[in-house]
Structure 1
Amino acid sequence: MDIPIKTISDLHAEIIRLEKTKQQQEMDLKQRLNSPSSVFSAVKSLFPSSNSTPGSSIFNQDIVGLISRFVIPLTLNKTLFKGSGFLVKTLVGLVSQKASTYISEDSVTGIWDKAKGLVTDLLKKKDKPAKPNFSEPSATAL
């Protein structure tokens, strides 16, 4: 409220106003948090789930995303960072769990389909014999 305080009486009035505001906010909070379900919804509202990025919350992930949250850090810490210290393993765990939020069933199946298509194309090219080109006369025929 940016009321200029020039005298001691202005200061006392502002203190009284702030105390009344505090009491009103406390009563409002008590009314909002009077049941367990309201407490749970208030706690859940502290962690907003963004619908713009799929799998941004543990509640919104599919089974592949949930498994990757545990498998990726465990695998990295047991293989690549085997002899590392506690801090490095903790950082690897945090970064890999953050990265696993981008892994979903759709992304895994999309990558699998692309890899399958590449392998199928390579095998088709390998199986086809080279056709001779009869449109141009060869130098030995002349």
Structure 2
Amino acid sequence: MKKIRRYNIRNLEDLHATVASLKAEYTMQEEVLFNDTKVYFRQFTLGGLIKKYATPSAFLKMDDKLNLSSSVMSYILPFIMNTTLFRGSGFLTKTLVGLASNKVGKTLDAEHLSAIFNSVKSWFTGSKKKKEKEGADVDYGIPPDSETY
């Protein structure tokens, strides 16, 4: 049901004042509605979606809800295994490798993938640091010719 407004208009001046106040109210509501519409449509632009969903924390939250990385890995891992490591294998071997890597891919999530990446990265970057540390003497600040040495 529509609410009917009652105006107390007794003369022409009251009528003009009421019309002016209604026009002002109309323009204010129009501006508010227009601004709200702009804000609403701005959140669905490409830039708004990128700002909202392309951050690393948003990806991890989305991955926790949807388990997106494990779904992708369950399809990519069998393909990679069969095209690289088991290229010349027979049909039965490729099928078994595909099933096994599919199961392994489903258990992987973003945290497991980052841990695997960090461990593989440490294999290549960790060897230089260990060689440098082995040859260096430890300096405790005591001169070698002192009596406490």
TM over 0.5: no
TM-score for the superposition, normalised by structure 2: 0.39
Q: Which has the higher contact order (CA 8 A, sep 6+)?
A: 1
TM-score for the superposition, normalised by structure 1: 0.40
